[in-house]
Amino acid sequence: MDYKSQIDTTKLPLHVAVIMDGNGRWAKQQGEQRIFGHHNGVSSVRETAEAAAELGIKYLTLYAFSTENWNRPKDEVDALMELLVHTIGNETPTLIKNGIKLDCIGNIDSLPKSCIRELNEAKEKTAHCDRMTMVLALSYSSKWEIIQAVKSIAEEVKSGAIDVDAIDEKLISSKLCTAKMPDPELMIRTSGEHRISNFLLWQLSYAEFYFTEKLWPDFRREDFYEAIYKYQNRERRFGKTSEQLAQ
Ligand code: IPE
Ligand code: IPE
Ligand code: MG
């Protein structure tokens, strides 16, 4: 089925979030080391970003490295960081060509210096791009992010800058890494795992979840279009009834 032609471009999600999972298993299937899978996941990132930008999606957030991923073997962590440094540098011209601005969320200070430098450089070089923002979640976990937000609000209450009664949804959202973005309407996870793995817990509270068995290095444009098409054919009720929505 040609999903792309069936997509209603007037009803696109503004923000799509992706848990890019299955690189290690993909490599294992080829009899290779896990890092081979990470390397091959780069073309999936490129295709997904280009497809999303071409469709007219405004924000694409990619879960690239979680707080928990620091617990992997050192060799893998080092190789992932190196891959990140090289990929960001190499892909910046492609981002610019596609009008994609780069941003990142997470505990960026915990990344190696070379990574931080590449990220900052790529962010600067793509700052003028306004077709879509691609957000890399790096050394990110939702619980970490929520703890930062709670600490910041607690400080403001302590100093008397705000009253406890002023704490509402809007204030909490404004303290998260995603403060400037709309919440994702759609979350895609590859590799057949049906869990959220500490990703955007607050922001995904009303998102549609789409799971595919495809391993991330096999994920292509068509798979992205399929996810968007399936999303558009769901009824988002937000607690209401179907009858209310029909009115
Ligand atoms: C996702 O693939 C990439 C990262 C988490 C960095 P995995 O490395 O988790 O691959 P699997 O899930 O073990 O196959
Ligand atoms: C989630 O994948 C994190 C990223 C894709 C970066 P993991 O492979 O780390 O998650 P679990 O361990 O299966 O929950
Ligand atoms: Mg995994």
Nearest to 186 by CA among 207, 206, 205: 207
Pocket test for ligand 2, best of 68, 71, 189, 191 (most atoms within 8 A of CB): 68
Distance 221 CA to ligand 3 centre (A): 21
- What is the CA(20)–ligand 2 centre distance, in A? 8
Percent of the residues in the chain that have a pLDDT greater than 70, as a whole number: 100
pLDDT category of residue 11 using cuts at 50, 70 and 90: very high
What is the number of the ligand closest to the CA of 38? Answer: 1
Ligand showing the shortest atom-to-Cα distance for residue 198: 2
Q: What is the mean pLDDT of residues 101-107?
A: 98
CA-nearest of 73, 45, 38, 37 to 223 is: 45
pLDDT at residue 1 greater than cutoff 90: no
d(CA 59, CA 15): 4
- Asked if residue 32 has pLDDT above 90, the reply is yes
Q: Does the C-beta of 70 come closer than 6 Å to ligand 2? A: no
The model's pLDDT over 154-180, given as tens digits with 9 standing for 90+, comes to 999 999 999 999 999 999 999 999 999
Of 3.40.1180.10, 3.30.420.40, 1.10.1740.10, 1.20.1260.120, which CATH number belongs to 3-233? Answer: 3.40.1180.10
Report whether residue 40 contacts ligand 1, using a CB cutoff of 6 Å: no
What mean pLDDT value characterizes the chain?
98
The answer to whether the beta carbons of residues 80 and 65 sit under 8 Å apart is: yes
The per-residue pLDDT for range 123-159, each reduced to its tens digit, is 999 999 999 999 999 999 999 999 999 999 999 999 9
Q: Where are the domains of the chain?
A: 3-233
Q: Which amino acid is at 73?
A: P
- Would the CB of 19 count as within 6 Å of ligand 2? yes
Q: What is the dihedral of CA 157, 163, 167, 172, to 10 degrees?
A: -40
- Find out whether the beta carbon of 8 lies less than 6 Å from any atom of ligand 2: no
Residue nearest to atom 13 of ligand 1 (CA): 24
pLDDT above 90: residue 67: yes
Quote the CA–CA distance of 209 and 194 in Å, as a whole number.
9
Q: Which of 23, 62, 63, 66 to mutate to test the pocket of ligand 2 (most atoms within 8 A of CB)?
A: 66
- Residue that the structure tokens 């997509």 belong to: 7
Judge whether residue 59 has pLDDT over 90.
Answer: yes
What is the arithmetic mean of pLDDT over 166-195? 98
Ligand 2 lined by 64 (C-beta under 6 Å): yes
Residue 31 has pLDDT above 90, yes or no: yes
Lateral strand order in the sheet of 208-211: 100-105, 132-140, 59-66, 15-19, 186-189, 208-211
Q: CB under 8 Å to 40, separation ≥6 — which residues?
A: 23, 26, 27, 217
Q: Is 21 tagged catalytic? A: yes
d(CA 129, ligand 1 centre) in Å: 30
Best residue among 18, 19, 25 to mutate for probing ligand 1's pocket (most ligand atoms within 8 Å of CB) is 25
Ligand 2 near 140 CB (within 6 A): no
